[in-house]
Amino acid sequence: MAELPVREGSVLARTVLRVTGIGRRYAGIPALTGVTMDVRAGEVLAVVGENGAGKSTLLKILSGVIAPSDGVIEQVDANGTSVPLQMENVREAARAGIALVHQELNLAENLDVAGSIFLGREPARFGFLKRATMMREAREWLHRVGLNVDPSTQCESLSIAQRQLVEIAKALSTQAKILILDEPTSSLSAREAARLLAIVKVLRASGVAIVFVSHHLDEVLEIADRVLVLRDGQQTGILNRDACDRATIERLMVGREIAAPAARVLPVDAQVRLQVQSLQTVHHRRHRISFEVRAGEIVGLAGLVGAGRTEVLEAIAGVTSSAGHASLDGIALTGNASQRVCEGVALVPEDRARNGLFLQDSVSMNLSLAWIGQHRQRGLVNRQGERAIVNHMISRMRVQPPAPARRVQTLSGGNQQKSVIGRCLAVNPKLLLLDEPTRGVDVGARAEIHAEVRRLADTGSAVLFASSELEEVLMLADRILVMHEGRILGEFAARDATEVAIMHLATGGTA
Amino acid sequence: MKKSLGIICLFVAICLITAIYGDGFLTGFNLTNLTQRTALFSILALGAGVVIVAGGIDLSIGSVVCLAGIMTPWLLVEHGWSAWAVIPLVLAMSATIGLFHGVLITRLRLQPFLVTLCGLLLYRGIARWMTGDQSQGFQGEFEDVRSIALARFDVPFLGDYRLPATVIPLVILVVLIGLFFSRTVWGRWLLATGRNENAARYSGVPTAWLTTGAYVVCSLLAGFGGMLFIFDIGSAQPSDFGNFYELYAIAAAVLGGCSLRGGDANVLGIVVGAATLQVLRTAIILVGLGSQLEFAVIGGVLLIGIAADELVRRYSARRAEQTSRMQH
Amino acid sequence: MKKSLGIICLFVAICLITAIYGDGFLTGFNLTNLTQRTALFSILALGAGVVIVAGGIDLSIGSVVCLAGIMTPWLLVEHGWSAWAVIPLVLAMSATIGLFHGVLITRLRLQPFLVTLCGLLLYRGIARWMTGDQSQGFQGEFEDVRSIALARFDVPFLGDYRLPATVIPLVILVVLIGLFFSRTVWGRWLLATGRNENAARYSGVPTAWLTTGAYVVCSLLAGFGGMLFIFDIGSAQPSDFGNFYELYAIAAAVLGGCSLRGGDANVLGIVVGAATLQVLRTAIILVGLGSQLEFAVIGGVLLIGIAADELVRRYSARRAEQTSRMQH
Amino acid sequence: SQGDLVAAQKARIAEFAKHPKARSHVAFVSNGVADFWTIAKAGAMAAGRELGCDVTVEFPGGGLSDQKRMLEDLIIRGVDGVSVSPIDPTNQIEVLQLVAEKSLLITNDSDAPTAPRLCYIGMDNYIAGRMCGELARAGCKGGEVAIFIGRLEQDNAKRRRQGFIDGLLGRSSDPTRYDEPSKVISESGYTIVGTWTDSFDRAKAKANIEDVMTKHPKLALVTGLFEYNSTLAVEVFKQSGKAGKILIAGFDEGADVIAGIRDGIVLGTVVQDPYGYGYESVKMLNAFTKGDFSMVPANGMLPISARVIKKDNVDAFWADLKAKLKAGKEAASKA
Ligand SMILES: Nc1ncnc2c1ncn2[C@@H]1O[C@H](COP(=O)(O)OP(=O)(O)OP(=O)(O)O)[C@@H](O)[C@H]1O
Ligand SMILES: Nc1ncnc2c1ncn2[C@@H]1O[C@H](COP(=O)(O)OP(=O)(O)OP(=O)(O)O)[C@@H](O)[C@H]1O
Ligand SMILES: [Mg+2]
Ligand SMILES: [Mg+2]
């Protein structure tokens, strides 16, 4: 069946890559088994599955980052003849016209944006860089992905979302025949994400084969021509576009229904827990921010990339310097991050690889780091308690696989995120700050994380979170603050908020 | 334990070879000497290890050994101070040096390599200037104070092996540092800081304090070690006392399994690493190779040792992979 | 340029102070000597810089200087070989040493610190063993070969300042390495590799080759430098020739703005860094401070210099922030 | 105590008289690594070959602690006698006592009068320094003088420097006198502008000479009290066109210094007899193991005096040294 060209829109969808029985084991334990599929030109193949289902593993194999333990990958040319690919490394894959955008960011931060885009493929004559050409072309690609920075900016000074866009520009600029995107939208806000989807559509129309991973089923439903569903490393089905609907995909993915969140009832006049007055952050000194969060309240910060939400959260947590005044339960928050943690503040950082995780250490160490400080007994670690809380958090957060001794590096992206959130929830903070809490987390797990956050709020803690997904903001927040270029432009109660109204403010419109 | 298997094998192999091809390796006198030297260098290496765990490096160890070691007889003999004043003073000075490094590194965010390299030059320079380049020694006196390093205890059933007194502080330190890393919150946090300072800071670990503390401990142990060294040797020249000791200390720590990327602690491994270096140096004389070859042999054996360790590790990983694949 | 402003200021300040308080700083003779020494140490520091940019470290520089430097007269004088054979051979040997380091580091994935520390011991050991600890020199012969390092050129309008020949290879190296990092694709790749090896590898950069290349260049320059040193000095003793030169080289590179994190290249800064160290050493004699103070003064001045640099940088960052705020 | 240890060693030698050792094993330990010591090694090896005994020679490269370690390890190897050049005699009593306890101890090059050593083989560095100073005084009638020396910590270096100063200034002979290295001494027409050390870094030693020439453009004479200091002075003066203009009073027998004497740019040099130190040490220790104590003079010092080499005796000296070195090397390679 795969031999037959499939008509799809105006382009002939021809198979370019055939994958048969691909599997991968880590230290003997299978992460992926028996995936058989084909990748077709002019088609978007979405890969979906829960956290740890094996999506990234599959994509890394396709792009030569890791080698498969079993199976074959064949490249199929225009005549239908197939050549087995020996993809030992990335360069082989690049030669075969395959480009990958990694789930985790991978930029050499000392290079400028143009240098990062063209790293490994710089326009050159006799080894000498053609700088002007590079800048010009880089500017074009940046324009295409909608990133409005100068190509000579150092990557160091870009925000996460901007870096993600640079990575996307980099992949696009290879003009690959097969473009593989691992959760490209997870750190983008709605506007950039929409722009990316538009680009993907254009590429598809021009005959590029695209493999796309996302936990946002709306996106998947919007652009996918076919959907490959993985569960526990096994392929549970390939759905054609017409057979795709949310319920089917979710059933194949999870094997159970996802519970809808119960409605929350807020106490009417709870006391103010977090009070922020005239906060000035380093990169937005012009504006002063004031707001408050009450006990049991969940407040969401909405805004576009670079609106300054991360800075506000980090300033409250004390990890970056700021001017102004913040107090918790009437006691001023001064001092550095560690003092604030003692006073009951916890932060889930935006950049988990850099600021959240100890990648070479165990899940247990990552989960218990803050807890052991809070429950120390004359300076000693309460080791029994530690074991108990780790097991408790693993099951509460549904970290997969539930092995406390596993190195966090070997967990899938979503499970890494759960470990960071677990660490903060374990200490029952009085004020929980979350920055993009469910980045890279699957639908089911997201609901569970939301439930956990709500449970914390129900015990009287204050929660302040930032998210670039309006959907999440609307789902989780009791009250929404909209930020634009370092200012709070408006405020909504959750029940009054609409996506349109929020977007209007977030883009600088007036209330 | 598993992490230090490689270095333990290397250690045992060197001991065996020396015992077979050399003279008198297994005599009580030699084993006593080796114990003493291992204890002295281990104390430095433990300090180096603590800083390495914290993700830093301390190149000033040798110079702190020199300054502390030179100051002790200088104050006792030249200036006639009492030992009760000198020992606390020298230790306090060493700790202050560490504090100074720590503050420059954590507050001013200077590079540890550069700060401690300046320290390497500075403290030796101070020692040379203070003493006018004169060697300092106890001139046969202060037997009581020197017995801190020179006392030997008889051990039943071990023939003429006599346990050097320096083993006492070593054992105390190994136990304390071992417990620190495995049982205390700050030990855990120091490990975390070494692994990913940002992540540690974001989760509320007082990274600046801990890192500073690590430098204080390192310099303190270097100063303490320097004092024991001079008690042991009796005199020293400011221009070469302790030269390259930082490299021996760091090498012992790294051999013992502390990666320079930070976050790996292996206290027993450090001691075995220090012992390996000392046995190697002795082996060269006992086997009769000639002192010219000392450097070449130590360098060569270490290189072969670490390369073999890595190859064995890979091979066994591959074996494990294969057997588990067959089971599936 | 902006990055090296701090070190340039430090350099100018030291020169000024020495010119004011010392004797004869501005004589042609002194400036000629300083140029020569700066050129010699800069060549080592450039090599150290390349490895540091690649995110590594090379502690064996001093020992390679020793081995290459000792081998040259040993082969020429003791064994009577021709200079046409000796020079290529010694350079080839140095490059091979670098290749060896590179392969161990990239293929076996051993830690650079450990590998080159073993190298530090090994190559000096080989030099000592080869020569039986006998110092090697040209015994007044080979004037023609030695003129590679000893020739001086008259410069119009500069009085009795005479340009040392070693400036020629230095300038060539600075231009080549400068162009390499700023203009060539491989230079960029090396920069990327140094900062984030994974990112570079995922982009298809042959990181293993580049890193190996960096170690080859470093050892090659160390060997070349060693040869120039011995041409300049005339004789050397294997047990101490080149001791601690790796620290001087690394310090010059780091002072010049190459962070040990890797990925920062600043070729001119390296040369200024090396010059600063040399002027400092001379300043001690010209100002008449006495050799004992050398270490203390160099260490102290460097420490103050880097701390001041950091403080000024912070202060100006804050100023820039404030002015930009006012404009808004 | 001291006397007991000496007596005990003598008793052991008396014991050897009854049961002479068939093939003895003796050790020679230097105070550092230098050409001086390789010549001594040649002497020790040559003696070992002649007398049919095993000789181990060790050069401690890392100062006092290294020397201590090597002595301890040699004891473990069970050597019959040790000749050592103690780096810091006043402070090394314990380890020297240990050697005396377990083996037979003599000293060479620098003495340890308070240690239980049976004999000292060598010369007085103060006297050798004086010889060098007098050589300079004879060749240079006043002006600025600079002293270069590897390091000043060790006892023999201090004595040599003091001897040079006293000899140059024509002072009375008093080995206990001490002039601070940092002080400028102006006396009887000479100005000693300073003493510079280099910790054995030759590039630094060369830079020292150059920088002192910059600071003191009117230098009349320099002395290099360690071998390479003199060699480098020759080197630097040739390179900067000062050869013959600034005079050199040399120490030890560097090849360039010898050539400099022939060319007349070096006044002369004071040479010790390291070969003799090595040779006589081994010979004496070997005699001990046969129960023969007769080589030791009554005052416990076997003098091996220094000599001044000038233009008239330089060629004979050089030829003799070459021959000795060759013989020593052959002995070492056959051992
Ligand atoms: N280096 C490794 N060593 C051991 N196990 C690994 C390693 N890398 C991945 N795994 C395991 O492989 C499985 C699949 O991981 P993968 O990253 O492919 O998941 P994913 O579908 O991309 O999940 P997510 O949505 O969270 O990104 C996981 O169980 C993970 O723990
Ligand atoms: N280190 C930095 N250097 C320079 N500018 C910075 C730096 N960090 C942040 N900024 C700028 O500050 C602004 C606010 O950034 P912040 O990360 O707080 O925004 P955000 O609303 O959280 O958006 P994002 O979704 O990108 O995280 C952005 O314009 C960003 O470019
Ligand atoms: Mg993934
Ligand atoms: Mg953000």
Q: Which of A9-13, A143-147, B317-321, D308-312 has the highest mean pLDDT?
A: D308-312
Mean residue pLDDT of chain D comes to 89
- Its CATH class, for the domain covering A272-344+427-506, is alpha beta
Do the beta carbons of residue D224 and residue D233 sit within 8 Å? yes
Q: Are D120 and D301 in contact (CB under 8 A)?
A: yes
Q: What confidence category does residue C89 fall into, taking pLDDT thresholds of 50, 70 and 90?
A: very high
Q: How far apart are CA C233 and CA C36, in angstroms?
A: 12
Look up residue A373 and give its two tokens. 């400080």
**Using CA atoms, how far apart are residues C322 and C328, in angstroms rounded to an integer?**
10
Distance A309 CA to ligand 4 centre (A): 5
Neighbours of B158 (CB within 10 A): 12
Query: What is the pLDDT at residue A282?
Result: 77
Considering the domain boundaries, does residue B326 fall inside one?
A: no
Residue A2, pLDDT above cutoff 50? no
- Whether residues B199 and A357 touch (CB distance < 8 A) is answered with yes
Query: Are D46 and D17 spatial neighbours (Cβ–Cβ below 8 Å)?
Result: no
Give yes or no for residue A385 having a pLDDT over 50: yes
- Residue B327 inside a domain? The answer is no
Domain enclosing residue C272, as ranges: 5-318
CA distance B277 to B247: 11
Please state the rounded mean pLDDT for residues A36-50: 91
pLDDT bucket at A96, cuts 50 / 70 / 90: confident
The continuous run of DSSP H or E covering A327 comes out as strand A322-328
Please give the average per-residue pLDDT across A287-314, as a whole number.
89
- Between vectors from CA C217 to CA C213 and to CA C220, what angle results, nearest 5°? 135
Nearest to B131 by CA among B80, B91, B88, B72: B72
DSSP3 helix / strand / coil % (chain B, rounded to 5) = 75, 5, 25
Cite the DSSP H helix spans in chain C.
Answer: 5-21, 28-53, 61-73, 83-106, 112-131, 143-150, 167-183, 185-195, 197-202, 207-233, 245-255, 267-287, 293-327
**Cα–Cα distance, C242 to D203 (Å, whole number):** 8
pLDDT of residue A288: 87
Of A29, A51, A57, the residue with max ligand 1 atoms within 8 A of its CB, to mutate for a pocket test, comes to: A57
CA dist B261 and B54 (Å) reads 9
Contacts of B84 (CB under 8 A, 6+ apart): none
Q: Of B265, A384, C282, A269, give the one whose Cα is nearest residue D215.
A: C282
Instruction: Kindly compute the dihedral angle of the four CA atoms of residues D124, D129, D135, D141, in this order, to the nearest 10 degrees.
Output: -150
First to last CA, chain B: 29
Residue A362 gets which letter from DSSP?
Answer: B
Interface of A with C (CB under 8 A): 65, 89-91, 94, 100, 102, 106-111, 115, 119-122, 124, 127-129, 170, 282, 285-286
Let me know how long chain C is. Answer: 328
Mutate to test the pocket of ligand 2, among A109, A281, A283 (most ligand atoms within 8 A of CB): A283
Please list every residue in chain B whose beta carbon sits closer than 8 Å to the beta carbon of residue C300: 118, 122, 125
Q: Is residue B295 part of a domain?
A: yes
* Sign of the alpha-carbon dihedral angle for A109, A111, A113, A118: negative
Q: Where are the beta strands (DSSP E) in A381-425?
A: none
User: Mean pLDDT over residues C130-155, rounded?
Assistant: 88
Q: Predicted confidence band at A5 (pLDDT cuts at 50, 70, 90)?
A: very low
Contact yes or no for B171/B163 (Cβ under 8 A) = no
Residues of chain C in Cβ contact (below 8 Å) with chain D: 22-25, 27, 29-30, 33, 37, 40, 128, 132-135, 137, 139-140, 150, 229, 232-241, 243-244, 281-282, 285-286, 288, 290-292
Distance from CA of B223 to the nearest CA of A (A): 27
pLDDT of res. A9: 43
Whether residue C29 lies inside any domain: the answer is: yes
| Lowest model confidence (mean pLDDT) among A11-15, A499-503, B243-247 | A11-15
At A400, is the secondary structure helix, strand, or coil?
coil
Q: Residue A6: what pLDDT? A: 44
**CB count, 10 Å around CB of B301?**
22
Q: ∠ CA(C33), CA(C35), CA(C41), 5° rounding?
A: 100
Q: Give residue C290's pLDDT.
A: 75
Q: Would you place residue A255 in the very low, low, confident or very high pLDDT band (cuts 50, 70, 90)?
A: low
Give percent of chain A with pLDDT exceeding 90.
38
Range(s) of chain A covered by CATH 3.40.50.300:
15-107+176-254, 272-344+427-506
CB contact (8 A) between residue D56 and residue B288: yes
- What's residue A3's pLDDT? 40
Q: Using the 8-state DSSP alphabet, how is residue A65 labeled?
A: S
Is residue C172 predicted with pLDDT exceeding 60?
yes
Confidence of residue C135 (pLDDT cuts 50, 70, 90): confident
Asked if the model's pLDDT at residue A1 lies above 50, the reply is no
Q: C-alpha angle with apex D156: D152 to D157, nearest 5 degrees?
A: 30
Structural tokens at position A25 = 């084991």
Share of chain C above pLDDT 70, in %: 97
A159 in contact with ligand 2, CB cutoff 6 A: yes
Contact assessment for residue D139 and residue D220, using Cβ atoms and an 8 Å cutoff: no
Superfamily of domain A15-107+176-254: P-loop containing nucleotide triphosphate hydrolases (3.40.50.300)
Query: Around Cβ D138, how many Cβ atoms within 10 Å?
Result: 15
Total structural domains in chain B?
1
Residue C324 belongs to some domain of the structure: no
In a domain, B325, yes or no: no
Residue B115 inside a domain? The answer is yes
DSSP labels, B113-178: HHHHHHHHHHHHHHHHHHHTT--EE-TT--HHHHHHHH-EEE-TTSTT-EEETTHHHHHHHHHHHH
For residue A262, the model assigns a pLDDT of 66
Q: Which ligand is nearest to the CA of A53?
A: 1
* CATH number of the domain where residue B236 is located: 1.10.3470
Closest to B215 (Cα-Cα) out of B109, B96, B76, B121: B96
Contacts of C302 (CB under 8 A, 6+ apart): B114, B117, B118, B121, C251, C255, C280
Preceding amide of A401 cis, omega within 30 = yes
Tell whether B61 lies on the interface with C, counting CB pairs under 8 A. no
pLDDT tens, residue by residue, A52-95: 899 999 999 998 888 888 888 988 887 878 888 876 777 888 88
Q: Across the interface, do C192 and A108 touch by the CB < 8 Å criterion?
A: yes
Between chains, do C122 and B296 touch, taking CB under 8 Å as contact?
A: yes
Cα within 13 Å of Cα(A191), Cβ side: 15
Alpha-carbon distance B6 to B251, whole Å?
15
Mean pLDDT of C234-262: 88
Per-residue pLDDT of chain B (328 residues; tens, 9 = 90+): 567 788 899 999 999 999 999 888 888 888 998 999 999 999 999 999 999 999 999 999 999 999 999 999 999 999 999 999 999 999 999 999 999 999 999 999 898 988 999 999 999 999 988 988 788 888 878 889 999 988 889 888 877 888 999 999 999 999 999 999 999 999 999 999 999 999 999 999 999 999 999 999 999 999 999 999 999 988 888 888 898 899 899 999 988 888 888 888 899 999 999 999 999 988 888 887 877 788 888 899 888 888 888 888 788 777 766 665 555 5
More confident residue, A336 or D148: D148
How many other CB atoms are found less than 10 A from the CB of residue A291?
17
pLDDT for the residue C4? 77
In this complex, the residue of C233, C244, C286 whose CB is nearest that of residue D215 is C286
Phi and psi angles of residue C244, each rounded to the nearest 5 degrees, phi first: 70, 0
Question: Average pLDDT in the D160-189 region?
Answer: 91
Token representation of residue A271: 């006391």
Question: Which of B221, B305, B214, B314 shows the shortest CA–CA distance to B263?
Answer: B214
Which ligand 2 atom minimizes the distance to the CA of A156? 1
Q: Find the mean pLDDT for residues A105-112.
A: 87
- For the segment A488-504, the average pLDDT, to the nearest whole number, is 86
Specify burial of residue C156 (Cβ count, 10 A radius: 0-12, 13-18, 19+). Answer: exposed
Residue A10 has pLDDT above 50, yes or no: no
Residue A11, pLDDT score: 45
| CA–CA dist D214, B282 (Å, integer) | 47
pLDDT tens readout for residues D219-253: 999 999 998 899 999 989 988 888 889 999 999 88
The protein residue whose alpha carbon is closest to atom 27 in ligand 1 is: A413
Q: Helix and strand tally (H, E) in chain D?
A: 11, 13
Which pLDDT belongs to residue D229? 92
Mean pLDDT of the D138-155 span: 88
Q: Are D267 and D182 in contact (CB under 8 A)?
A: no
Question: What is chain B's length?
Answer: 328
- A164-177 pLDDT per residue, tens: 889 989 998 988 88
What is the identity of the amino acid at D299?
N
Residue C236 has phi, psi (to 5 degrees) of -155, 155
Task: Give the residue on A whose Cα is nearest the Cα of C201.
Answer: A90
Closest CA to C48 of C237, C248, C226: C248
- From the list C163, C202, C61, the residue with the least C-alpha distance to C120 is C61
Give the number of the ligand closest to the Cα of residue A314. Answer: 2
- Rounded CA-CA distance D270/C226 in Å is 31
CB-side neighbour CA atoms (13 Å) of B10? 32
> Is D28:D301 a contact under the CB 8 Å cutoff?
no
Q: How confident is the model at residue D110 (pLDDT cuts 50, 70, 90)?
A: confident
Six-digit token string for B196: 């990913």
Instruction: Name the amino acid, one letter, at B168.
Output: I
What pLDDT score was predicted for residue A8? 46
Assess whether pLDDT exceeds 60 at residue C327.
no
Determine whether the shortest distance from the Cβ of A436 to ligand 2 is under 6 A: no
Query: Between the CA of residue A305 and those of A158, A182, A316, A477, what are the distances in Å?
Result: 11, 20, 19, 19
Q: Do C188 and A129 touch (CB under 8 A)?
A: yes
Looking at chain C, which subunits does it touch, using at least 3 CB pairs closer than 8 Å as the criterion?
A: A, B, D
ipTM: 0.86
In a domain? residue C328: no
